[in-house]
Amino acid sequence: MISKMQYKHLFFDMDNTLFDFDADEDQALERLFNAQDIDLTSDIKTTYQTFNQGLWRQYEQGELTREILLNTRFATFFKKQFNKVVDGQQLSSQYLDNLALGHDLMPQSEELLAGLQAQHAKLYITTNGVARTQYQRLQDSGLAHYFDAIFVSEELGYQKPDPAYFQTVFQKLETVPMTQSLIVGDSLTSDVQGGQNVGVATAWYNPTGQINHDQALQPTHEIKQLTELLTL
């Protein structure tokens, strides 16, 4: 039986774990496409999201730099989809400004963090997002005060699931034992893989009941609701 406070240090992903990134992305894309006089239909949005997710997987695997991803994705997509030439760097900046305005939360996010704080757990953010965007969203959401430290890939120089990412995190924290730590996130390839790479326990947040088809990626725990973490 797992004791109630086996995990005293919890490392949270942000997007689609604590924050409803899908809702925030919808709003940011709507503003961006409207500014280009393009109607963002559901089909176009789905096509873009598939394209964008592919780029982020390449980034996670070290096949693509953050700068290339951010500065070329819109130029590539608009050219391919609409045969429209745009300034990719400018649109990227506009999109990130739009995204920074979004801080919709996943169900139970604040309830969970308040409960963990009451249990005297130490909480941290570990995200592959863009620093200025993620910091603003954390502040505007009112969640920032729950966290003892925030680790953004852009600032660390490594991204999840690169072993160097969490190795750097634990080096910076110095006294935090990996054996009492838990990495929490919605991504098998980023959060769970990242934990496995350094031998740290993981909790896969899987609210929609996705099937894990990769036998090499086995989270320590799987949860459908965030507040299940309170019993760990």
Q: Which active-site residues does the annotation give?
A: 13
Sequence-separated (6 or more) residues with CB below 8 Å from residue 51 = 73, 77
How would you label 63-81 residue by residue, b for 16+ Cβ within 10 Å and e otherwise?
ebeeeeebbbbbbebbeee
CB 122 within 8 A of CB 153: no
What's the CA gap between 48 and 9, in Å, rounded?
36
What's the CA gap between 157 and 66, in Å, rounded?
10
What's the CA gap between 21 and 13, in Å, rounded?
11
**Helix count (H) and strand count (E) of the chain?**
9, 6
Sequence-separated (6 or more) residues with CB below 8 Å from residue 77 = 48, 51, 52
